[in-house]
Structure 1
């Protein structure tokens, strides 16, 4: 795929921050496993991150130990590569551990940006990206020792791109200023083979075949926020988001609507098996869907009392109704992070 100015501005500029400006260390909370926890990832061990710089690590998925980290900024996302852990969050903080969480370094800290990172992903131990609010997008090719910022105009709606292209002909500086002000929140990045998927604000779904250097935005007949996107197989991609909206695309075709009759915002996708997938959401809502997913016509003005879920859709709610933020499967268990801490999900 060719990189064009319109497709990927990727205006790159060095990231500088003061090494004396780091926030104090995270509070070692006695009830940390019951605190607000926002993301989970696992490889040969499990890592969980959350509010006030909380980081928990487990070797078995059952006993979790809080690790001392050099920030109390809320951590929104984490990723594991071998024994390396990266965690990102508010104050544009990026943390790194090379020893499974025993020791940590701050790789980035810019509270003056007033923008949080919302996700982080590494392709290997050297090359990674972090994405977040208002188009925040950083890249490293040396394990995080240096990060560079990029702005991707190709993630904008085509009408916004056309507007920006006209501005750029007259004033490059104003163009960059406008680009930074209208880029949407980038909520989740997912890697599948050589394809990178992205879900974001204002109906943003996109894919990249070159590690996010350029993007192809999908057209979706929906302008609300998406919070997760995942390929289910070689033919099928699923996206979930605001007010219970679920869309599916097959064979690169149109994005079709899945009717669940639930209006709770959906935060993440958990692939359970070859026959079932789960969407996890606010108010403890968990939607299970038989594969292949059924679809129907979307009617945003329909009376909710007349709603009938598509065939194979089942909506359940966990007992304490705590928001389900993310989940992963580890050693036969489905471990979720919620607004009330760690939970093991009983998936049907």
Structure 2
């Protein structure tokens, strides 16, 4: 392959407008002020709906799989995904602009969060971490060794002094995957690979690693309706903390499928969703769960309650369940 051809192959290609986009793999979904829903997924698909039933695909300038979406208000939002892609909208998702695209990194971004319209971070595989202070006009890459063990930090410092080239290589591989961000007031939590969990009190400028409580990957962290912290991950593992993450207790679940996300609604219900159609519902803040998993066995990646319906994003698109059916 010539250098020119290689360069052309690295250029972003606009996502195809697909008739069946709402039935393709979707990975994240957000409710914008109760007025609109935005869902993102594979091949650059971004879908909008105002009723949870009818969906319109937005034109998107990249075909990368998208993993996370976040809106700071009803107009301004960001989506992130593979090829270190970061997209932004200023019109509620009707159109999107590509702010960052780095396929040469060969690393996906998994989540994005903005504290205000200017200050945001995007995180992903192998500790990939970008920050903006100008609404995404520019993004700066950051490296956060403070989340490593003391031994790994010492190893990196020695490598920096003795083998600078290898140090650069290790920077791109030694950190765990950063899978999900959760903003809890002024505290930011992050979970990821191999039991990684950390918190920040300065919008992600520095991180404090939480004491390990599980050696498998964690895919989400959130607050329960009664304000406990909840973390979920591989093989049906779920954990509650009632002391701001200082200690954790495992929830006993009769489920072994990986849990992808956890969320709650305004009615005090707590939901866990995961692979193999897993859908667990709790009415007692996570003490016990009712299994209402989907019979089709398709992975559920995330969801939210929209009016009287539970909207789920799955490997086969949008699925809706009447709240009355969950009782």
Q: TM-score, normalised by structure 1?
A: 0.84
In structure 1, stretches of 5+ residues that fail to align are 1-17, 295-311
Q: 2:240 aligns with which of 248, 262, 286?
A: 248
d(CA) in 2 for partners of 1:274, 1:73: 36
- Secondary structure at 2:172 match in 1: helix
d(CA) in 2 for partners of 1:239, 1:291: 16
CA 1:274 to 1:164, structure 2 compared with 1: closer, same or farther past 3 Å? Answer: farther
More moved, 162-171 vs 175-184: 162-171
CA 1:163 to 1:274, structure 2 compared with 1: closer, same or farther past 3 Å? Answer: farther
Corresponding pairs, count: 314
Partner of 2:28: 39
Question: Pairwise mapping of residues 1-348 of structure 1 onto structure 2 (< 5 A)?
Answer: 21-44=10-33, 45-82=36-73, 83-168=75-160, 170=162, 174-232=166-224, 236-252=228-244, 253-273=246-266, 275-294=268-287, 312-345=288-321, 346=323, 347-348=326-327
Once the two structures are superposed, what CA deviation does each residue of 1:283-324 show, in whole Å capped at 9, x if it has no partner?
A: 001122343434xxxxxxxxxxxxxxxxx2322311322111
Once the two structures are superposed, what CA deviation does each residue of 1:1-27 show, in whole Å capped at 9, x if it has no partner?
A: xxxxxxxxxxxxxxxxx9995322111
Contact 2:112–2:181 (Cα < 8 Å) also in 1: yes
d(CA) in 1 for partners of 2:150, 2:301: 31
In structure 2, stretches of 5+ residues that fail to align are 1-6
Contact 2:225–2:270 (Cα < 8 Å) also in 1: no
Once the two structures are superposed, what CA deviation does each residue of 1:245-297 show, in whole Å capped at 9, x if it has no partner?
A: 00111113311111102110000001135643111000001122343434xxx
How far apart are residue 32 of structure 1 and its match? 1.1
- Secondary structure at 1:184 match in 2: coil
CA 1:247 to 1:162, structure 2 compared with 1: closer, same or farther past 3 Å? Answer: farther
- Secondary structure at 1:73 match in 2: coil
CA 1:59 to 1:276, structure 2 compared with 1: closer, same or farther past 3 Å? Answer: closer
